[in-house]
Structure 1
Amino acid sequence: MNSRLSFSAAILLLLASCGSATRNNAADSVAVNDTALNVHADNGSSLDVRPLNGYFVKNTIQVNDSLTFWLIDNPATFDSLFGVAKTMNNKIDRPDFGTQVVVAATMPSTFYGTQIQLASATADDLTNNAEMHFVAAGQAEKNSYSITPLWMGSIPKTGRTNIKVYTGDQLTATLTTKE
């Protein structure tokens, strides 16, 4: 008897929930089609960033600032700044400068294992601008060799005019693309 009562109660709850969902969906569709509503589109979206691996900053480049950013839109400039770090096991990601620009972040050489990471990247679809937030973390122990930390990624060429780059939450630079 208890199982029949429980089954009946479950059926009633199921019917009640389906019925109210149908009423809400009908009300929602009317509200969506109402042209008197002041609806604002979400102007922010994720920026499509493709990390590039297998490169190093050439020894002829002196990095003096704590975090230096570059925006590179052609292969000649790219090749003048970065060398290929090819090994037997790694894959070199070559950017397509016809459809992409490269954003690079680097720091002065250090004896502490430091990595630069992209924390977030967003695009403002209304203004066609972008924001990229970077963080850098180093190890406490000193190595016997120095490295020049480098992060590099490509983003689509979409006519973005300004790319604001941040170190954490502090604006470090605004990179301007050529149109």
Structure 2
Amino acid sequence: MHCKTYLLAACTLAAASCGNGAGNTTADSATADSDADTVMAAHADSGTSLDVQPLTGYFVKNNIQVSDSLTFWIIDNPATFDSLFGMAKTMNNKIDNPDFGTHVVVAATMPATFYGTEIQLASATSDDQNNAELHFVAPAGNGKSSSSATPLWLGSIPKTGKSTIKLYTGDHLTKTVNELE
């Protein structure tokens, strides 16, 4: 009888201790929100929001060697796009096809990593002179994986005669592309 009581008490304590750290408290949520706000607030919003449509279902082809920490491409035709990226089609996912007649594709990638790094668009703005600014961040995932992957972010922006497209790694200007028609 005492064994059953001790076993029940041990299981109850184990269940209670597992649940303690799992939920976010109000303080945790406020901290997480303020961290996200800090990332977004690092980029002064000097213009209007740019319409960016993320593209999913692609990977960087194996014959493409990326050497810089964050590499950007502006792609305005399907032949170049197809030479850089392959479709990652499964039974359940949807491949987003870019419309090169009305949009250009912005691609951000970096060398293969074992740390589950994801490239994220932090902000995208456009000013009254039709210039665009896109700020990217690339936080590493938790822990080292047994396999590497090449992080990739793809999105399309409207072809509206952008005078200049500036691509940033955080607040550091990494690449400027002029006169896209």
Q: Same fold (TM over 0.5)?
A: yes
Question: Which of residues 56, 79, 84 in structure 2 aligns to 1:76?
Answer: 79
**Aligned with 1:158 (options 157, 160, 164):** 160
Could you tell me how far 1:139 is from its partner in structure 2? 2.0
User: Residue 177 of structure 1: CA displacement?
Assistant: 4.4
Contact 1:70 1:175 (8 Å CA) reproduced: no
Q: In structure 1, what is the equivalent of residue 109 of structure 2?
A: 106
Structure 1 Cα separation of the partners of residues 179 and 70 of structure 2: 19
Deviation by residue 1:89-122 (Cα, 9 ceiling, x = unmatched): 1100000000000000000011110000000000
> Counterparts of 1:123 and 1:82 in 2: how far apart (Å)?
27
Name stretches of at least 5 consecutive residues in structure 1 with no aligned partner. Answer: 1-42
Distance 1:150 1:58 in 2: 11
CA RMSD for the aligned pairs?
Answer: 1.1
- Structure 1 Cα separation of the partners of residues 115 and 179 of structure 2: 33
Per the TM alignment, residue 141 of structure 1 is displaced from its structure 2 partner at its CA by: 1.3
Counting matched residue pairs gives 136
What letter is aligned with 1:168?
A: G
1:122 & 1:160 partners in 2: Cα distance?
12
User: Which whole-Å CA distance do the structure 2 matches of 1:69 and 1:48 have between them?
Assistant: 18
Name the % identity. 75
- Secondary structure of the residue aligned to 2:146 is strand
How far apart are residue 44 of structure 1 and its match? 2.0
Separation in 1 of the partners of 2:51 and 2:113? 30
Distance in 2 between residues matched to 1:63 and 1:97, nearest whole Å: 24
CA distance in 1, matches of 2:95, 2:158: 19
State the shift of 1:176 in Å: 2.8
Question: Could you list the per-position Cα deviations for residues 16-48 of structure 1 after superposition, in whole angstroms to 9, with x for gaps in the alignment?
Answer: xxxxxxxxxxxxxxxxxxxxxxxxxxx821100
Does structure 2 retain, via aligned residues, the 8 Å contact 1:130–1:160? yes
What is the deviation of 1:128?
Answer: 1.2
Q: Tell me the distance in 2 between the aligned counterparts of 1:85 and 1:65.
A: 24
How many angstroms does 1:170 deviate by? 1.1
User: Is the partner of 2:148 in helix, strand or coil?
Assistant: strand
What residue in structure 1 maps to residue 140 of structure 2? 138
Per the normalisation by structure 2, the TM-score is: 0.73
For the Cα contact (< 8 Å) 2:118–2:141, is it kept in 1? Answer: no
Structure 1 counterpart SS, 2:81: helix
Shift of residue 175, structure 1, vs aligned partner: 2.1
Shift of 1:83: 0.1
Larger Rg: 1
Give the whole-Å Cα distance in 2 for the aligned partners of 1:61 and 1:161: 28
Which residue type is aligned with residue 145 of structure 2? Answer: N
Deviating above 4 A after TM superposition, structure 1's stretches of 4 or more consecutive aligned residues are none
Counterpart residue type for residue 74 of structure 2: L
Secondary structure, counterpart of 1:147 in structure 2: coil
Q: What letter corresponds to residue 105 of structure 1 in structure 2? A: A
